[in-house]
Structure 1
């Protein structure tokens, strides 16, 4: 027999139902944090201890041989674990983005170099009107305890090249602390489903550290509202970085070359539409 809510009377004699009122509509955007990780078991306790209140944490494991996944689950019972299907940070992020359910997606590193306490600044920037909140170590109050002179010089030269070719004003092209509204995910056109290719490194283009440049260039090409957020980069706590200044710098340069023709095609389409 179905249950019928009782009708009660309050002190004024007005009728009211015994059912609970509907929950108020959610006014705050749901925030998903994506954490690519490969053998970061020793760093996760520090990173997770500094995480502010967020709605979802997606850890993307790159085939760790240590206790990365077990440590993550012990630290956060609500964490979601995703296994990436190819190799590299770019592929890890693509898989994490595809799995995220939040309105806002934030990408941080698992080695402690990006400070989780800065997440509210990125979220507030998006809530204030930005489509893409881009971390920068070279904005006032930003900085780095990790970047070498060679990487700093290379980053500056690459940023100047992109600003010239793409009409942007980036101060820090090669930094991986970013956040964006999930509704813009299609803009980045990332592949999270294809199996590893028959290549020497088992990666598609964009699967490596060039992902940061790729995101920045495609955000600019789509004419998203991009706002740089000052950020301080800390030194990795434990372990050794997989980044190579020369080889990854060359991948960034190749990314710029590959994306530039697509930028020109977009401009031509826009000009035809104006005419």
Structure 2
């Protein structure tokens, strides 16, 4: 694909933070005050039954709150992206696992020339206070498979802390968030927890410029994680295999048209992922 051009890529971009949340009232009370001043904070509520919405409004009166149209983290993010008015989008978890002080590093990577700044726990400067050995090994194996199939060099395929220019959102080709829930209970591909891997695959197929940004994952503050190593590992594997034809088709198209090649990242210290 040709390089994406956007005249709104300014030296001082307006940053929008998108936070999907479901029953995260206690965590939001701690996390929201730690966010740096930005252009916009969008909380996408996943039909919470606790005080998530009321707490967010009390702690941050300027926050914009929308309700997701279906269910799943992917749908929540898509709804949030549609509400963004800034130049840069930061995806941020509501459970306290993401460190707000790292946001400037993500924005700096974009200003240095990346289209997509991908957080990684598994490079110098990164880490995790929460990941288990089984999840770490599974992530390593899934990373290796994706890199082998897609000719990439990702170090952290399943991490949801990312930032990107708003102009690249159409490249993600996510399900239309105006579509109603399927009567038979069918879930649209990209609506669920596979979203992080879907985004990585779509970024790769679109030949966007990617910079990996070291990130230290914190422990969830309150509540129990919904992650399940075996179930989620198989979901990521399914995602890699489902997305493989798209990635390879775009790779072949680029090979046939060498002029549509990826532009090298301007920062030699940043890891390129695609």
> Alpha-carbon deviation of 1:269?
2.5
User: Structure 1: how far apart are the matches of 2:181 and 2:227?
Assistant: 21
3-state DSSP of counterpart to 1:34: strand
Aligned to 1:30: 14
Q: Could you report, residue by residue, the CA deviation over 1:96-137 in whole angstroms, capped at 9, with x for unpaired residues?
A: 011111100000100000111111110111111111000000
Q: 2:53 aligns with which of 56, 69, 79?
A: 69
> Alpha-carbon deviation of 1:207?
1.4
The answer (yes or no) to whether the contact 1:209–1:243 under 8 Å persists in 2 is no
3-state DSSP of counterpart to 1:257: helix
Q: 2:178 aligns with which of 169, 180, 193?
A: 193
User: How many equivalent residue pairs?
Assistant: 249
Unaligned runs of 5+ in 2: 1-9, 260-274
In structure 2, the CA distance between the partners of 1:274 and 1:226, relative to structure 1 (3 Å rule), is closer
Does 2:165 correspond to 1:181? yes
Alignment RMSD (CA, Å) = 1.5
**1:223-262 mapped onto 2 (5 Å cutoff):** 223-262=207-246
Aligned to 2:100: 116
3-state DSSP of counterpart to 1:43: helix
User: Structure 2: how far apart are the matches of 1:236 and 1:150?
Assistant: 18
Q: 2:147 aligns with which of 147, 163, 169?
A: 163
Greater than 6 Å deviation, 4+ residue runs: none
In structure 2, the CA distance between the partners of 1:271 and 1:141, relative to structure 1 (3 Å rule), is closer
Does 2:80 correspond to 1:92? no
> Alpha-carbon deviation of 1:267?
2.5
Does 2:41 correspond to 1:41? no
> Alpha-carbon deviation of 1:261?
0.8
Unaligned runs of 5+ in 1: 1-25
